[in-house]
A and B are shown apart, each in its own frame.
Chain A
Amino acid sequence: MSSQLTVTVNGAPVSVPSGATVAVAVAIAGQTFRTSVTGEPRAALCAMGICYECRVTINGMLHCRSCQILCEPGMDVKTDA
């Protein structure tokens, strides 16, 4: 994890170590991952693909588990917060 790469989270560029998951990028960006059905802010809980709390939109694809997907240069990540 020596080199860095850049992705976009809610329109802002975020630099992450290569090998980082999208969940890490969202956390570094300080963004809420999703808003719950009653309006609570939520973030990653299990970080192993079980809880679905970290789901975000990646390159237009909805409901991606950000903890299970590695960042790629130029990736466009949007949270629903």
Chain B
Amino acid sequence: MLTNKRLAVALAAALAVHLGLCAFQRARTLRDWLGPAHYNHRFVEFLDECAREIPPEATVEVPPNEFLLVSSRLYPRRVVEVPPPDGTSPGAWRLRFTWPFDRAAASLERPHGR
């Protein structure tokens, strides 16, 4: 037990303030979690939809935005950046999107002839 009464009171007060601050912050975080999805989340949902269509051995061309994130979500597909203004790999699938992500402006193009 703490025998120094003043110290004990000070520590108990600090603990109460800490718990109050943190509980308030957790409530705000919880509100964010339960609220509408962030555009990042809609982006990965879009990528997962694309992954269901694109065969694993395919090459995918993407804009440079969030290139590594796309590489991860589409693994093991080979992901290459579209070199500006408009380089292409024959037979590649192509993802089009802008950043921040807007689902309405995003699309997946199949390779020509498929």
Q: Do A and B come from one complex?
A: no
Residue positions of B touching A, CB distance < 8 A: none
